[in-house]
Amino acid sequence: MFAVIKTGGKQYRVAANDTITIASLEGEAGSAVTFGEVLLFTDGDATQVGAPLLSGFSVTGEIVGHGRDKKVIAFKKRRRQNSRRKRGHRQHHTVVRITGIDAGAKSAKG
């Protein structure tokens, strides 16, 4: 059983006990978080696809921690112009462990 959720402008395929790295969320480590934008849910042979979202479905998780990604370097150079620009960026992220998928009336824990 798995679901496809949308958070931070991206889509993630999640199942119970999965650990995902997503865009930064508010909250302390150990606090619960709920994702309400469920795009797809499948349980064995039954698959439900939203248009674009499924109503009555939610995915719950627990924040494991916060961190920063590796540095990305943006380097621009114009040849023969003595013009160079170097810029670095580290994106903040949150690590979340999925605790369960709530499928409306029936709840599914891993």
For residue 75, the model assigns a pLDDT of 98
Query: Which residue type occupies 62?
Result: E
For residue 109, the model assigns a pLDDT of 56
**Which tens digits make up the pLDDT trace of 49-86?**
999 999 999 999 999 999 999 999 999 999 999 999 99
- Number of structural domains (the chain) is 1
Q: Using 50, 70 and 90 to split pLDDT, how confident is the model at 105? A: low
Whole-number Å distance between alpha carbons of 47 and 40: 7
Whole-number Å distance between alpha carbons of 107 and 102: 5
For residue 30, the model assigns a pLDDT of 94
**Structural domain boundaries enclosing 98:** 2-109
Q: What does pLDDT average to over the chain?
A: 92
Name the pTM for this structure.
Answer: 0.81
